Chain A
Amino acid sequence: MPVARPFLAIGALAGFLALSACDPAPLSADEKAKIASLVIDELAALPAAPANLYADNPQAVAFGKLLFFDQGLSGDGHISCATCHMPDRQFQDGLPRGVGVAQTDRRTMPLAGVGWNVWQFWDGRRDSLWAQALVPLEDRREHAGNRTAYAHFISANHSKAYEAVFGPLPELERMPSDASPLGGAAERAAWTTMSVAERDAVNRVFANIGKAIAAFERTLEPGETRFDRFARAIAAGEAPTGDAAFSDLELEGLRLFIGKANCLECHNGPRFTDDHFHNTGVPPMAADELDRGRAVGIGEVLADPFNCLETYSDAQPGACTALRFMKRDTAVMERAYKTPSLRGVAQRSPYMHAGQIASLDDVIDHYSTAPDAVAGQSEIRGVIFTDRGRKALIAFLKTLDAEGPNDP
């Protein structure tokens, strides 16, 4: 049948195309397992915070919440954590780079799930939430205050709440109003006039401010999304129904994400992050002052006087697992940044550590072209996406949208 052959081939092709278009192949066992690994139900219990004795103390949570929103906790009385970490915007600000008293070098990070972080900041230069909180308080572009002034502020405004959690405040009357080992020349000079015991007393109040704020931040949990309802059904071997059912496009995007596009290499687990640092070839904001990311963060966290192994930590040294077994190889960490969670990502452009990429479309472009890194080695191998593939990936990312205004 010399004539029938081509017909047969065309017929088969048409049948196959039709198959793939209206009836996507069923999810494989491997795909189902990967989907199940991402569902919010897989989130482990909130990890212990051994360096913070007050991490789960309800009074510390309430006091920390107060401090998080208190603009008095700043040099000019106008900046609070919430200035940049806005509760109705997933605790971030939608700007390329955070702005306090002045503009910073990095993008404000959302705070849902920070209690699960191993490292804090894009470069992981702090190893606990409480040590992290102390950084913006003294950064001249952020809260622009100093630790001695904060101790006086707590004593004048929050002594009851403070003492209920941490015990009596030290005698502060004879201490300078503005002093810190960081900060400007005058503040540093004033710090040197203080005795070792006075500095220690101020450092302790300062650390406790961080510990209260950290206790509050630990209550910020990632919420359930449409994706979770879909994945929960898949994990249970049921067909997702109602709003849990995915469109063909969303399903295609999810399959790319867990399959050919390799996104799961880094954005894995229920928080969509491996808590590690990667150079993904994101171009720097300004070429003149090259941000080296984790390559510098390693040394900074080791040198931090408030890290898990130092004086103001409540942990036994053995419990400081992250720091003790930290990867110290700076060469492979050149321009590496912490993998961000992708929960709620479609609702908080711009993207990357300094807001370099404006939209999700451009993010997909970045992963497709996989540019060489300006320093270090990018781990991204370019993936060619069809137009539909791009749309599909974005449609999938939108199923991770946070629900409700105050649900980070």
Chain B
Amino acid sequence: MPPQRANGNSRIMLAGLGLLVAAIAVYAAFQLFSPPPSEVDVAYNTVSGEGFYQVMFETEAQPVPVNETHEWVLTVTTPDGAPVTDAEISIDGGMPDHGHGLPTEPRTTENLGEGRYRVEGMRFNMGGHWEIRIGIDAEPGLDEAVFNLDL
């Protein structure tokens, strides 16, 4: 029964084709909708590289805005929670994936006491992954804390 066989074959082929298209569609949808694997830890609270300081930032602008110059308040403590009140703080950063730095030169403009420091001039000029490095020089030693932000 050649015709029937042919028929059966094409039915199998059609079914296979349908399955394949469906599989591709599902895969494509999965690729499109699944968030990219997160490799970085997004936190507003971190420990400096050598472990000398616990550093936290807060900002009134929530979520952290793009194309808007805004302020941060940094809180610096020792790992056991004692405020670091007389630190020299420097701020640097950029987008590692794009090889460019910050569009501004932010700096601390006020020591608010109790380990809190006002930072002015923060600005991000595109969405994506930013790295902010906070240099801290105080009694425990020189150290750097890094914040990873996904905007």
Contact = CB atoms under 8 A, between A and B. Distances in A.
Interface of A: 1, 4, 7-8, 11-12, 15-16, 19, 25-26, 28-29, 34, 37, 44, 118, 264-266, 268-269, 274-276, 321-322, 324-329, 332, 379
Q: In the A-B complex, list the 5 residue pairs whose CB atoms are closest, starting with the nearest.
A: A325-B121, A274-B125, A28-B32, A12-B20, A276-B103
A117 B127 CA distance: 19
Given A19-B25, A321-B69, A321-B121, A37 B127 contact: yes
Nearest to B25: A19
A190 B12 CA distance: 97
B16 A19 contact: no
Contacts of A25: 28, 32
Contacts of B100: 332, 379
A37 B63 CA distance: 14
Interface stretch (B45-53, B79-87, B104-112, B133-141): B104-112
B132 interface: no
A26 B22 CA distance: 15
Interface residues of B, number: 31
A11 B19 CA distance: 12
B26 interface: no
Contacts of A328: 105
B144 to A, nearest CB: 20
A327 B102 contact: yes
Interface of B: 9, 12-13, 16-17, 20-21, 24-25, 28, 32-33, 66-69, 98, 100-107, 120-121, 123, 125-127
B126 A324 contact: no
A379 B103 CA distance: 14
Contacts of A1: 9, 12
Nearest to A37: B127
Given A19-B21, A268-B127, A269-B67, A326 B104 contact: yes
Nearest to B16: A8
Contact of B120 (A8, A321, A329, A379): A321
Contact of B98 (A19, A118, A265): A265
